[in-house]
Structure 1
């Protein structure tokens, strides 16, 4: 632990002890033990991601509320001895199988940011102070589960004050990723421009050709020479810097579709969700990560449903000939 770490922890101590400003004579033992606990736990803590069993924010809240009535005790994450604010957070998440750092400041850097309390969901972390010295678990409806300070107990109470940061540890559950095996074999109608190119590229990357075609339709209207005011180029509207990174010529349809397919595959793998992958294609993966979901940009908010609608239309058109054929055959057999 660095000197800055120690100073941050001292700030936390002072806040948690309320009106009583701790001195080395009465707080040194607690401080020494807490620092050692934090150093030990920091070497073993792991991120929340990579977990395979689905969990929800309401499970986190329930896990925290189990400790209601537990006395506040600075430096403790052992319920039998008492819990401080970050100890409660760490313990509640540990109970559902997610490891978090020990101190409030480090917990407040975990997960992804949530822009405001209005967008917070149960299970999100509410951190207070600069530097962060206090933390709680959002319970929904403007309430939080918290270990307040010395002389108090773990309880659920209204959110008081404005959090300096809100963090989402459990990724937002949205529509499942589009990766069923049959999508990559969907046959686009021959009337769709570049249908064969979307078909072959989709098969190469395990993507729906309708997804690639829908992106092209929304991005450029199937125009391989399109250039946007922002400088995005070609059929798939790839920015020059992105095209260089992908090693493609954005004005060459075959290279553009290949590059776009690689981008979409990367985003689908990272976010495991079609909506988020499309948002990342439009606004960048960093923006999706920062906002913990589709960024609040009007263009991106409109882009995702447009592409999904175009994709649904293309998929319907792809199955229409077979349906019409079956209908005609049935009529002849009558």
Structure 2
């Protein structure tokens, strides 16, 4: 078979995958790929929990497996030609009637935040910042459970099952499974942490991580709601007066300050596409992060991001 014939045969094979006759073949491909990835017991998608009245976790996994083997194509949204990472996720969810934005950085602002990989469920979107040359999200996959995801990785590869690694952001666009007792979107119980109920409530309301909010408060003020810095930053979350006014926040009122910080961090996360960049912007200002295209090379800001992330992890 010559090169042209081989390409045509591959296109026909991919196109056939999206007709009813391909159901058995694609299921077999899924079973093989899942088995190779160590997803024992999950090759039958009917074993995944369902969510009544919504596109269920099992439906997302089943739909995603139909695209196994489709070649990666940068900018690709047509499976008969190829898919890129966000084209793949957009296609899978679109097949189930759920509209996602086109790019991975835009998709990273949809749904609600999932606190950690331990809290992730099949069908969650997992996002990554893999490029050192520019800040923000640049890759996305669909989480399967057991530390695995389906994704369109990069040029020269195909849609496949692979280890999820360490996502930068995790978002849930599906409804919680029927009968499940869902943890608050912000995650974490924060037992023994001052103002724990306020952190949890604000995190759930604004779709961010409760341990992260608590860690920011610890870093900023040591949980001192009356703290005032030499520069004039006030309260638990150390808002400058102008910033507090802009957010409509009373910085010396813990409930108002925490809700304002959750609002602000949520906005910064959407703007920059990652928790680390949002924290850098909280510390040094959004304009500084935009100007440097990443975490500014200031020791104070670099240490701030590392310290808050470490504190947040300790609260989980």
Q: TM-score normalised to the size of structure 1? A: 0.42
Give the structure with the higher percent helix.
1
Larger Rg: 1
Q: TM-score normalised to the size of structure 2? A: 0.45
